[in-house]
Amino acid sequence: MPILRYLGDSARHVPTGSLATIGPYITLHTFGIDHRGVQRGIDGMRVDAEGNIVATAGWPTNGPGPMVYVFAPSGRILATREVPTREGPSNCVFGGPDLRTLYLTTVDGYLLAARTQIPGLPVGPLRQS
């Protein structure tokens, strides 16, 4: 079974050399430009139990605004939900006893929680090198 790695970059660039360490990649989704400017890309993401990518992205001043996106593994947008913030969402993680609570942090310092229909995958312990 292949190991999938997802890379999100809200600054819309990848530092030189970093892709060499993760191997070949494909672009699943590109955030665009609208009448309000360049849309802020993904800042934080997790994977749910069905393999979908749950990601935080956006600013209130451009694009569709601060959102949580659910992407299929192919990159197709399955769902979006607005995030009530004056700035933007910054990260997310699944938690709670059933991993059906999505915790979100925002740039303006809030911690939000929302229940989800699909549980998230647990985040394993970090390995020390």
Q: What is the pTM of this model?
A: 0.77
Structure tokens, 37: 């400017």
Tally DSSP H helices, then E strands, for the chain: 1, 9
Q: Is the dihedral of CA 65, 79, 125, 99 positive or negative?
A: positive
- Long-range contact list for 79-84, CB < 8 A, 24+ apart? 81/114, 83/56, 83/58, 83/112, 84/112
DSSP state of 52: P
Q: Could you tell me if 103 and 89 are in contact, meaning their C-beta atoms sit under 8 angstroms apart? A: no
**Tens of each residue's pLDDT in the chain, 129 residues:** 444 555 555 444 444 445 456 666 677 777 777 676 777 778 888 999 999 999 998 888 777 889 999 999 888 889 999 999 888 899 999 999 999 999 999 999 999 999 999 999 988 765 665
pLDDT attached to residue 126: 58
Domain parsing of the chain, residue ranges: 18-115
